[in-house]
Amino acid sequence: MRINHLFENFSDVSDPAEGVRIGAAPPTWLSGNFLRNGPGKFKFGDDEVNHWFDGMAYPQRYHFENGRMLYSAKFLKSHAYLACEKDKRLAVSTFATPRSVQKNMKAKPDSGAYNCLVNFLQVNKEVYALTETSKWLRICQDTLEVQAQEDISNHVAEILSCSAHPIRDRDGTVTEPTCFRDALFWKERQYVNIILVDKKTGNRHPRKFFAPPFFTFHHANAFERDGFLYVDFCLVENPGNFEDLLLQHMRDGSFSSRNPLFRPFLHRIVIPTNVSGGIILVPVMSANQRKKPIFMILDAKSLREICRYVLPVPRIPMGFHAIFVDAAAGDKEN
């Protein structure tokens, strides 16, 4: 089934529109904004990006209050987006779509041409859009407008790259566990080198650990037990240098069937049997263009559906990551 409509240009939904609820009312304490980031614009004029990761940031806002859900979305007005809109072409180089040599020769160096499309981070009452650089964009979580830009290398260290997947230690410290190089190449016969670092001292473990070749984007969990370190992660046997995530393969739906080795699966999984109460928020795209997308709320323990909202738009994009900003949290960090 072709799903090209999920990878065509989207439009701003500036005025919040209400979704139609089906089912029971959500928990009364559900109040705040579910913010989701990801690409939403892939073509400027005659120029089109090559890769899913190259689309321009398109934050979506799902606002919950008194059992209602209001949806809005807006392109992130980053330097990269504004430059492309002004020139009506791809004016910046991206993950897998470089500008032509002629365009690069004419262009001025622009250290601010970043596209914060990966994730969000809440710091006290402020929300920042993130990518894999040290440049962050502070946004208004109600209007999705950019309020300011921040270069964390001015505060932390002289760095050019940092993780768009920050985690928090128990004391609330934000850490940057990974960095990405500007080019990634798959060497199918080269073993994976696993490096262990003591979080308290910063010292590297003296032993060397190796594993058969594999690739992973995201980790699910990690813990120590009986002298062993357990790591749960999505394993890909052969990523094929990410070619399966090119837009041409994403749109025709072949990205999951072209190369079975590219399909990620949990290499080890731990299912807790005593999950505390809570809910899971799930935006659902529609592969059928005649069906509207929905937003589901599930019970975290049983995974049963509590209710769903039919969204007031014909389609939503495939996003990357999201956060929930609780209206009752005040200045607490998520």
Q: Are 136 and 57 in contact (CB under 8 A)?
A: no
Inform me whether the pLDDT recorded for 159 exceeds 70.
no
Query: pLDDT band for position 258 (50/70/90)?
Result: low
pLDDT at 272: 47
- Looking at the chain, the whole-number percentage of residues with pLDDT higher than 70 is 77
Between 261 and 203, the more confident residue is 203
Distance of CA 39 to the CA centre of its chain: 9
Q: How far apart are CA 312 and CA 71, in angstroms?
A: 7
Inform me whether the pLDDT recorded for 152 exceeds 70.
yes
Give me 180's structure tokens.
């990405």
Phi-psi region at 168: left, alpha or beta (left = phi > 0; alpha = psi -120 to 50): beta
What's phi and psi for 132, nearest 5 deg?
-90, 25
User: CA 238, 240, 245, 247: dihedral to nearest 10 degrees?
Assistant: -160
From the number of C-beta atoms within 10 Å of its C-beta (0-12, 13-18, 19+), residue 211 rates as exposed
Question: Under 8 Å CB-to-CB from 30, ≥6 apart: which residues?
Answer: 64, 279, 297
Extract the annotated binding site for Fe cation: 165
Query: pLDDT band for position 105 (50/70/90)?
Result: very low
Q: What is the mean pLDDT of residues 254-278?
A: 57
- Between 53-67, 189-203, 228-242, the lowest mean confidence (pLDDT) is in 228-242
Q: Domain residues of the chain, as ranges?
A: 4-329
Inform me whether the pLDDT recorded for 264 exceeds 70.
no
Phi-psi region at 227: left, alpha or beta (left = phi > 0; alpha = psi -120 to 50): left
Q: Are strands 43-44 and 47-48 parallel, antiparallel or unpaired?
A: antiparallel
Q: Are strands 56-57 and 47-48 parallel, antiparallel or unpaired?
A: unpaired
pLDDT at 125: 87
Bridge partner residues of 215 (DSSP): 236
Three-state DSSP class for residue 79: helix
Q: What pTM was computed for the model? A: 0.71
Q: Are 306 and 23 in contact (CB under 8 A)?
A: yes
Buried b (16+ CB within 10 A) or exposed e, 247-262: bebbbeeebeeebeeb
Buried b (16+ CB within 10 A) or exposed e, 133-142: bbbbbebebe
Q: Are strands 60-65 and 279-284 parallel, antiparallel or unpaired?
A: unpaired
Extract the annotated binding site: 165
